Structure 1
Amino acid sequence: MTRLMSGVFALVALVAGGYAVMGWQASAPTIPENLLVGAANAQEAADIDTSTIVEMVQGAEDAPITLIEYASFTCPHCANFHAGPYKQIKADYIDTGKVKFIFREVYFDRYGLWASMVARCSGPEKFFGITDLIMKGQSEWARAGSATEIVDGLRKIGRLAGTDSDQLEACLMDSNKAQTLVTWYQEHATADGVESTPSFIMNGKKVENQAYEDFKKLLDAELEG
């Protein structure tokens, strides 16, 4: 598993004058190599309204089990989970009304933040479909080379999912949204004690990443409980 930075969680943003900004010249992000900076101070965090961030949810609202996944779009273990156990959990538990599934992004780096902004660009209706495309293509776009090539790969995924170019650029340029997402992630990850990805919270209890058969045992035991 990929470990989060020890101590305070890292804010993934380009900081200028205390605020996150994302600027482009032509197609290239004008972002320095060092993206990970220390956590915002308490006053800065308090000034950001994270209630504007929409939870991405699948399944019945009144399902007996709530399963939260914390994942990074640049985490290979997360991509593996989405290619395997997630699909089976969705078919057997989410789509059948047994599990309410919540996906929360973790930001290790600028690329994961960009991916999140692309995935969220067309709203909740398309989020999970775009997430599937991003996870499936992770080995390609995340290793495309330069930052310009990586963000171009994410743009292609967004367009493939039906998001037009102007809308994608507006989403990627939204520095306020970027800062709010980072603060939102930090609040939840701190509250739930998340230290690696993928991590899971099942009805308030931490659960490790594991094979589908083991998830099934845990879910069935919770349903019987």
Structure 2
Amino acid sequence: MLIRRRALFAALPAVTLPLVLPGRRAMAADERLADRSLGDPKAPVHVQEWFSLTCTHCAQFQTAVFPEVRTKLIDTGKIFYTYRDQPIDPTALLAAMVARSLPVDRYEPFVSTVLGSLYRWAFSTDGQPKDAIAGLKQIAALAGLSSNRFDAIRQDDGLRDAIIARAGEDATRYNIGGTPYFRFNDTPHDRGPETFDEFADLVHRASP
């Protein structure tokens, strides 16, 4: 569901100022925190998506719209696409940590798989409780991550704090009210485009 800004970090671990500042320094040194992008950086339109890996609206965009965006706009050099973390709960935060710990070329396939199978690993459709962490661990294993490595990532406070700090700064800077949230060059769009045509129109409007 669309999560409003006041609830974005309510379920996440608190990050105090002394933790935020080291996290910011770590962003410059830790390759896991580097941008995850697709396409040509020289493309005329740069699109940024702030998303959460447990957001059903993000999953809808990823499965129904993004494949066409990839083939028609990213792969053809029309847009440069960057993923931005905006986790809405502890499970989404862990998923973001895992995604960023994978080799760069496995990032987008992992994100696509996590969002594309959201109702199988994170949410129950039959009323039975779901072990989301176990489900996420299985997807991570398919991406080549060992059980021990997954457990180590889960305990990585530095990575966790850095992602929370950056997400909080972005939420404040851009007044992010929910996920997914987009920027087309400097033009904000606060909901996920529901069709490729809607997305393509936003790209056209942002074109120089």
Q: TM-score, normalised by structure 2?
A: 0.85
Q: Distance in 2 between matches of 1:108 and 1:135?
A: 14
Unaligned 5+ segments in structure 1 are 15-36
* Structure 1 residue 131: Cα displacement: 0.5
Range 211-220 or range 149-158, more displaced = 211-220
Equivalent residue for 2:20, pick from 42, 45, 53: 45
Cα 1:41–1:177 shift into 2, 3 Å: closer
Q: How many residues align?
A: 198
Question: What one-letter code is carried by the residue in structure 2 that aligns with 1:143?
Answer: F
The alignment yields a C-alpha RMSD, in angstroms, of 2.1
Aligned to 1:34: none
Cα 1:45–1:4 shift into 2, 3 Å: farther
**Alpha-carbon displacement from aligned partner over 1:92-121 (angstroms, at most 9, x marks no partner):** 111111111011121211110111122222
Kept in 2, the 8 Å contact 1:2–1:196? The answer is: yes
Equivalent residue for 2:72, pick from 92, 96, 99: 92
Q: Distance in 1 between matches of 2:96 and 2:22?
A: 22
Equivalent residue for 1:116, pick from 96, 105, 126: 96
Range 68-77 or range 165-174, more displaced = 165-174
User: Identity of aligned pairs, percent?
Assistant: 23
* Structure 1 residue 4: Cα displacement: 3.1
Aligned to 1:142: 122
Kept in 2, the 8 Å contact 1:65–1:202? The answer is: yes
Question: What one-letter code is carried by the residue in structure 1 that aligns with 2:104?
Answer: P
Q: Distance in 1 between matches of 2:54 and 2:12?
A: 15
Aligned to 1:156: 138
* Structure 1 residue 41: Cα displacement: 4.8
Kept in 1, the 8 Å contact 2:3–2:88? The answer is: no
Report the structure, 1 or 2, having the larger strand content: 1
Whether 2:193 is the aligned partner of 1:213: answer no
Q: Distance in 2 between matches of 1:177 and 1:107?
A: 13
Question: What one-letter code is carried by the residue in structure 2 that aligns with 1:218?
Answer: L
Structure showing greater Rg:
1
Aligned to 1:58: 38
* Structure 1 residue 70: Cα displacement: 0.7
Whether 2:48 is the aligned partner of 1:68: answer yes
Q: Distance in 2 between matches of 1:139 and 1:158?
A: 16
* Structure 1 residue 63: Cα displacement: 1.1
Query: Secondary structure at the residue paired with 1:107?
Result: coil
* Structure 1 residue 12: Cα displacement: 5.3
* Structure 1 residue 219: Cα displacement: 1.5
Aligned to 1:222: 206
Whether 2:151 is the aligned partner of 1:169: answer yes
Question: What one-letter code is carried by the residue in structure 2 that aligns with 1:48?
Answer: G
Report the structure, 1 or 2, having the larger helix content: 2
* Structure 1 residue 78: Cα displacement: 0.3
Query: Secondary structure at the residue paired with 2:54?
Result: coil
Q: Distance in 1 between matches of 2:17 and 2:161?
A: 14
Query: Secondary structure at the residue paired with 2:169?
Result: helix
